[in-house]
Structure 1
């Protein structure tokens, strides 16, 4: 429970920072994560079993990957490429789990959620570095 609260705070703070200082790229990237993270969490809690939740969560994470990939392709920033790559790892974890006959619930959750932490770090540090570069140019 404490980990979930800490991660929620990290998501909100990171996405707000990126939205405020990351320009259009930050607003779109932060908006995608800020809107889909609660949806994924709610879906995982509302589904009666992990087996039923996996396809739905896979679709959500696939849509997040597509959104981040589009942002990476349209942006001049570098951090969206890293975020799309981390999200691709999450999508790959979903596929591996769907192909595996036996997966424990906690292992499934760990495999799909582990990539969120480095993604938040890359978003914030990337935005910070972009902001420094813009201030030097000005």
Structure 2
């Protein structure tokens, strides 16, 4: 074993004295994390006339209407509805619903806010302090 170690030392000393000794050092590498864009889920159009429902507490949702019947119920939900609905029913407390276009709006409960963008829907506002308005 000592012979092997001595041989390696002698070989290294000879190479060093001749100037043929090459020291290899690792090359630094740089890697950069490039964020991958995440695709937002597409709002798919439901079948014409489908019944859609959003319920819960503190739910935030965007749905697409295709002459659909929509029901929103619960507390403190925020719902954005794109497209045209045949009817929208909102019940519960402190829900905020925005709809592009709807034929009939029924609001029941307390402190619900319903905003429609276009059209002249038939409005039924039962309960206390609900707001249904164009905006």
Which bracket does the TM-score occupy, shorter chain normalised? under 0.3
TM-score normalized with structure 2 length: 0.20
Higher helix proportion (structure 1 or 2): 1
Larger radius of gyration: 2
